[in-house]
Amino acid sequence: MSPLFRQSPRDSSPQDPLLTPVRFIDQRTAAAPMLKKTLRYLFPDHWSFLLGEVALYAFMVLIATGTWLSVFFDDHTSKTVYHGFYTPLQGVTMSAAYKSVVDISLQYPAGLLMRQTHHWAADVFVAAIVLHLMRVFFTGAFRRPRELTWTIGLILLFTAFLEGYLGYSMVDDLLSGMGLQIGYGVGLSIPVIGGPLMLAIFGAPFPGNTHFWTRMFIMHVFILPALLATLIAVHLGLVAMRHHTQFKESPRHTNKRIIGVPMFPGQAPRSLALMFFTVGILFLLGGLVQINPIWQWGPFEPWLGTNGAQPDWYLGWLIGALRLMPSFDVTISHFTLIPNPFWGGVLFPGLVLGILMAFPWVERRLTRDYGAHNLADRPRDHPTRTGFGFAFLTFVFLVFAFGAGDRVFVLFGLPYNTQLFAFRVALLVLPPAVFLLARKICRDLQGAEEVEQIQEEAEEEERRRSPTLLGT
């Protein structure tokens, strides 16, 4: 009978020292074939494929800095009087939560660095996901067999919105309290169930009871991060199982065969470089560029508010939508079926998510293209999709931009009311115009390429003919 393992540890024949740990692992996991395959996993070479990686590395920074911050954060709203280091807040009554974050920022060594890096990482995390989403959309990389990856990516993005929102709401400074208040109002506006639902979540009418702060804390530091990590793992697993798409850079790049750089040695140092750049830039931002100086805002009380409050960038589209809606509630006798914040705060983001979720299936049906696609389109290859994508982006961006309308008024003196009117008109007019324009540009680019190809073929023909002409 032959032994199960060809080599036992007693074998002392001269060998590569690296073989010892490799053999140790393989004998215990039988994973050598898989490990070898992983080392030689192919990455198509295109810069735009790195956007998702940036999001992954920002997430790692969020976990690391977030763990550090959680050691000092206090999730209580019980009132204390500040007698700390920062003079302007001396003697001010505030919640324990707010005090702990002021202390993290101004008292604990490296606390401000960690907090600001955490905040920057959250902004970069969502930005990288959004850019990555655009890349996947405009190259048609969401098509069969990658619809699940697309869907999970979208859930990831919207979970990230909620995670970020809870993160800055926990701080209990004036701005975060105003954001939480709006969240409560938007939640109440969900038809029929809004009231009971918000009462259940907050434990009491706004500002809620102590349970609410524990719930927010556990959501932000455990439940949502665990969900995000799981979704990221599934997302990456799906990518790896079906491989990346690739552009048709040469006749060798086909729907059947992938061409790329192996994970090791080619891709590994590139990814590591990107990782260290991302983390490095986040720490530089965290150290050098101030973000959300909460000690300046002061503590929140439900009866306080300030003009010019702006949320983090990724919630700007929601404040814009809430501000753009005309004033009306939908009522049935004395019952309020649809309170106003529902349109901008629930329906609008819901529609954006729904349209993006359904897009792979809708496009497939409309184009009758049910095939599997490993080749990524260039945006011009699919004028209608690109046109729709730009129109959709224009719509969302206009809503987003109006969220800062009050700041535009302060900075440039453009009256808010004029802006409101202009944006409402633009929202109806611009998206269709952008659709037609983008589609036309795509078609023109395609046309120009065809002309170029015909010219090249003609020149080729010419060259083939000329020697024979000379010969005669």
Residue 451 phi/psi, 5-degree rounding, is -60, -45
Chain residues 136-175 in contact with another protein, contact rule CB under 8 A: none
SS3 (DSSP) at 247: strand
Instruction: Determine which residue in the list 270, 378, 424, 443 makes contact with another protein, applying CB under 8 A.
Output: 270
Q: Write b or e for each residue in 378-415: b if 16 or more Cβ atoms lie within 10 A of its Cβ, otherwise e.
A: bbbbbbebbbbbbbbbbbbbbbbbbbbbbeebeeeeee
Chain residues 379-418 in contact with another protein, contact rule CB under 8 A: 406, 416-417
Query: Interface with another protein includes 24 (CB under 8 A)?
Result: no
Q: Which is nearer to another protein, 200 or 469 (CB)?
A: 200
Residue 455's identity, in one-letter code, is Q
Cβ at position 141, least distance to another protein in Å = 13
Contact window for another protein (CB under 8 A) among 127-135, 263-271, 355-363, 447-455: 263-271
Q: Count interface residues toward another protein (CB under 8 A).
A: 105
Chain residues 201-260 in contact with another protein, contact rule CB under 8 A: 201-207, 241-243, 252, 255-260
Question: How crowded is the C-beta side of 42, counted as CA atoms within 13 Å?
Answer: 10
Chain residues 59-98 in contact with another protein, contact rule CB under 8 A: 85
Contact window for another protein (CB under 8 A) among 48-56, 265-273, 385-393, 451-459: 265-273
CA distances from 192 to 196, 328, 342 (A): 9, 17, 12
SS3 (DSSP) at 95: strand
Contact mark string toward another protein, 104..143, x via CB under 8 A = --xxxxxxxx--xx--------------------------
Rg value, the chain, Cα: 28
Cβ at position 420, least distance to another protein in Å = 9
Cβ at position 61, least distance to another protein in Å = 10
Cβ at position 106, least distance to another protein in Å = 8
Contact, 85 vs 107, CB < 8 A? yes
Q: Which of 23, 231, 282 is nearest to 127 (CA)?
A: 282
Q: Which is nearer to another protein, 272 or 448 (CB)?
A: 272
SS3 (DSSP) at 375: strand
Beta bridge partners of 332: 335
Contact, 219 vs 183, CB < 8 A? no
Instruction: Determine which residue in the list 63, 92, 134, 325 makes contact with another protein, applying CB under 8 A.
Output: 325
CA distances from 256 to 39, 147, 262, 344 (A): 21, 18, 18, 45
Strands 335-338 and 330-332: antiparallel
Q: Which of 385, 422, 400, 308 is nearest to 349 (CA)?
A: 400
Q: Which is nearer to another protein, 256 or 464 (CB)?
A: 256
Beta bridge partners of 79: 95
Contact window for another protein (CB under 8 A) among 157-165, 190-198, 351-359, 460-468: 190-198
Cβ at position 346, least distance to another protein in Å = 12
Cα separation, 439 vs 384, in Å, equals 6
Cβ at position 184, least distance to another protein in Å = 6
Q: Which is nearer to another protein, 301 or 363 (CB)?
A: 301
- Joined together, the tokens standing for residue 168 give 């800055």
Instruction: Determine which residue in the list 2, 12, 87, 327 makes contact with another protein, applying CB under 8 A.
Output: 327
Cβ at position 257, least distance to another protein in Å = 5
Instruction: Determine which residue in the list 234, 261, 408, 441 makes contact with another protein, applying CB under 8 A.
Output: 261
Cβ at position 376, least distance to another protein in Å = 13
Q: Which is nearer to another protein, 271 or 384 (CB)?
A: 271
Strands 93-95 and 79-81: antiparallel
Strands 375-376 and 246-247: parallel
Instruction: Determine which residue in the list 121, 186, 398, 404 makes contact with another protein, applying CB under 8 A.
Output: 186
Q: Which is nearer to another protein, 276 or 361 (CB)?
A: 276
Instruction: Determine which residue in the list 303, 411, 412, 463 makes contact with another protein, applying CB under 8 A.
Output: 303
Count Cβ atoms within 10 A of the Cβ of residue 87 and give its class: 0-12 exposed, 13-18 middle, 19 or more buried.
exposed
Spacing of C-alpha 274 from chain mean position: 18
Q: Which is nearer to another protein, 43 or 73 (CB)?
A: 43
Question: How crowded is the C-beta side of 73, counted as CA atoms within 13 Å?
Answer: 23
